[in-house]
Structure 1
Amino acid sequence: MSTRPGAAVLADRLLPRSSALTDVALVGAGAAVVGVLAQLTVPMWPVPITGQTLAVMLVGAALGMRRGAAALTTYLVMGLAGVPWFAEGRGGPAMVLSPTFGYLVGFVLAAAVAGWCAERAWDRRPLLAMVGFCAATVAPFLVGVPYLAGVLGLSDLSTVAAYGITPFILPGLIKAGMAAAALPLAWRLVQLVDDRSGR
């Protein structure tokens, strides 16, 4: 199976990319999926565990690097504009002062990473998919952890880790595993339909 750059992602396989309007619709739908799964929340302070990370991986892989990043940028911008689709129904410009905001910014990078991997067909094999989705899971921490520390005025690394890293390791691995199971299954179903239709 090909792992070349530019391999078709799932959205391209399911829908014809005949116009810019198709891309806009896919980006909007991707942002909405993240907004819906963000409401699946395990309340914690200062950062809740949510379904956002799973949604980011699925959207990034399904749409590809550019559209995935565009979907998460749309999600971020519209949330800051007041759409209440961040975790726990939050939104508005005050989110910039929240300790969670850095993770939201990091989701753009995470979607791009998942999409980059999918464009190399990693999402069609469970092991490669897991590698890619673990990399996507790490991406939000690169922005989120320093931002959290800055907003909360934390300098002790163990406290920063306890608030912003440690509680999310196991849930992150579980969500990466879910995505790594879902995407190859979706591709197998697409191939099955193709085989039955004689494509």
Structure 2
Amino acid sequence: MTNTAAPALRPVLADRFVTRSLATDAALIAGGVAVMGVLAQVTVPLWPVPVTGQTLGVLLVGATLGARRGALSLLAYMLVGLVGLPIFADANGGFSSILLPSFGFVIGFVPAAFAIGWLSERAWDRHAARSLVGFFLASLIPFAIGLPWLAVALGNLGYPNDFAAVMAAGFTPFIVGGLVKWLIAAGALPLAWRLTGRR
């Protein structure tokens, strides 16, 4: 009978700067919430879903903190916004945010951060080609939740919510911005690892 050991996970970028502990994990999770809150206010106002810096924040927080801390940070971001802190796009906040057509994307941020964090724990964020693939895949996850949510919200508001209408409202306008954010994140992490001088 053979005993196959699971591959050891490599430290993520945050682990290069702090020692793992409950206190540092909590501080990093809170820091991720702050980063998201700031980037959410970098916005190009479009209806029904604004183009914001949030997706870039999701990718950077998830990759930098790893799967568990990244997902917890994005979950905390969502919960802090729901209890009333105006940290969603356009300084929105409060429980009524659930009714916004864009809220499904906020939910999708949590698994997206987990996914890119999981890949980063396996060193995908350290090499250009794998970084491009990993960040691209993680960028698609918010759409998997956000677009169905958008379809329901548009229908409830009396707007067309067929496939073409939903894609026109929640996907097509964001292709260019999404590509830019994907390339920024996919380039920033390998560069950051290179600058640390430790591979």
Task: List alignment gaps of at least 5 residues for structure 2.
Answer: 1-6
TM-aligned CA distance change 1:146 to 1:183, over 3 Å: same
Does the 8 A contact of 2:12 with 2:120 survive in 1? yes
The alignment partner of 2:93 has SS state of coil
Quote the offset at 1:181 in angstroms: 0.9
CA deviations 1:50-79 (Å, max 9, x no partner) are 000001000000000000000000000000
Specify the alignment match of 1:11 in structure 2: 14
Q: CA–CA distance in 2 between the matches of 1:178 and 1:5?
A: 28
Alignment partner, residue 188 of structure 2: 182
**Among 169, 178, 184, the residue aligned to 1:172:** 178
Determine which of 38, 44, 51 is the counterpart of 1:36. Answer: 38
Percent identity between the two aligned chains: 54
Q: Is the 8 A contact 1:64 1:119 kept in 2?
A: yes
RMSD across aligned positions (CA): 1.3
Aligned pairs for 1:1-199 within 5 A = 6-17=9-20, 19-153=21-155, 154-191=160-197
**C-alpha distance in structure 2 between counterparts of 1:64 and 1:141, whole Å:** 21
Show CA shifts across 1:160-199 (max 9, x none).
10001111122111111001111111101111xx69xxxx
Hey, what's the Cα distance between the residues in 2 that align with 1:176 and 1:117? Answer: 15
**1:5 touches 1:119 (CA, 8 Å); kept in 2?**
no
What one-letter code is carried by the residue in structure 2 that aligns with 1:52?
Answer: Q
1:5 shift after superposition: 5.5
Unaligned runs of 5+ in 1: none
The count of residues paired between Structure 1 and Structure 2 equals 189
Residue type at the aligned position of 1:24:
A
Helix, strand or coil: the match of 2:9?
Answer: coil
TM-score scaled to structure 1, two decimals? 0.92
Deviation at 1:155, TM superposition (A): 3.6
CA distance in 2: counterparts of 1:187 and 1:95, whole angstroms = 37
3-state DSSP of counterpart to 1:123: helix
Letter of the 2:101 counterpart: P
Task: Look up the SS of the partner of 2:84 in the other structure.
Answer: coil
Give the residue type in structure 1 aligned to 2:149.
Answer: Y
Distance in 2 of aligned mates of 1:162 and 1:5: 43
User: Whole-Å Cα distance in 1 between the matches of residues 183 and 74 of structure 2?
Assistant: 21
CA displacement at 1:6 relative to structure 2: 1.2
Q: Give the TM-score, by structure 2 length.
A: 0.92
1:106–1:139 CA contact under 8 A, matched in 2: yes
Which contiguous aligned blocks of 4+ residues in structure 1 show a shift greater than 6 angstroms? Answer: none
